[in-house]
């Protein structure tokens, strides 16, 4: 009886371990072909915590996101929302430096927090930015997705960085 319980428990744990790689996660992970070992002594502790991307690339991409999200006219960053059938008027709060990763050759991802500037609607909005680094070092923002509104995720990412819808 004890042996049967042990075999069942072991089988359950093995199945859970195998499926863990398929479990969706909040943000994409660094593309395995782009990942580089983190420097052992170079850079600051914060740089080493932020991942394997060189600090220069992270800073450059963060600046590109900041510029993209700050219209030249000084007004709010306008983001259409097909789900709520409205246009968000947003202000950047911060770019998550620890969530800037390479998702393919010269393709990168960053997560950023925004807040609504519209009177009576102070909802926090989490946007995911996808960009391509150009040969001259500049950035092209390819896609901006609404990941969360008021902390409620609309999607997650699979182990292969595919978008997985969150069911309400």
pLDDT in tens, 72-121: 888 899 999 999 999 999 999 999 998 899 999 899 999 999 999 988 88
User: What are residue 98's phi and psi, to 5 degrees?
Assistant: -80, -5
Question: How many residues does this entry show for the chain?
Answer: 168
d(CA 110, CA 33): 18
Alpha carbon distances (Å) from 81 to 34, 96, 127: 32, 22, 11
pTM greater than 0.75 (yes/no): no
* Closest by CA position to 26, among listed 109, 93, 108: 109
Range scoring the smallest mean pLDDT among 15-29, 71-85, 123-137, 143-157: 15-29
Split at pLDDT 50, 70, 90, the class of 44 is very low
Q: Which residue has the tokens 């930015």?
A: 129
């Amino acid at each position: 009886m004890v042996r049967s319980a042990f075999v069942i428990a072991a089988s359950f744990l093995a199945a859970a371990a195998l499926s863990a790689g398929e479990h969706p996660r909040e943000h994409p992970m660094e593309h395995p072909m782009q990942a580089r070992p983190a420097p052992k002594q170079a850079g600051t502790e914060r740089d080493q915590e932020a991942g394997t991307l060189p600090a220069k690339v992270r800073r450059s991409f963060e600046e590109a996101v900041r510029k993209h999200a700050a219209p030249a006219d000084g007004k709010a960053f306008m983001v259409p929302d097909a789900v709520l059938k409205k246009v968000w008027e947003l202000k950047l709060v911060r770019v998550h430096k620890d969530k800037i990763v390479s998702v393919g050759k010269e393709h990168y991802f960053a997560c950023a927090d925004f807040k609504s500037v519209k009177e009576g609607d102070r909802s926090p909005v989490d946007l995911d930015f996808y960009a391509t680094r150009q040969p001259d070092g500049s950035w092209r923002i390819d896609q901006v997705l609404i990941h969360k509104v008021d902390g409620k995720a609309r999607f997650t990412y699979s182990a292969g960085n595919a978008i997985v819808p969150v069911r309400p």
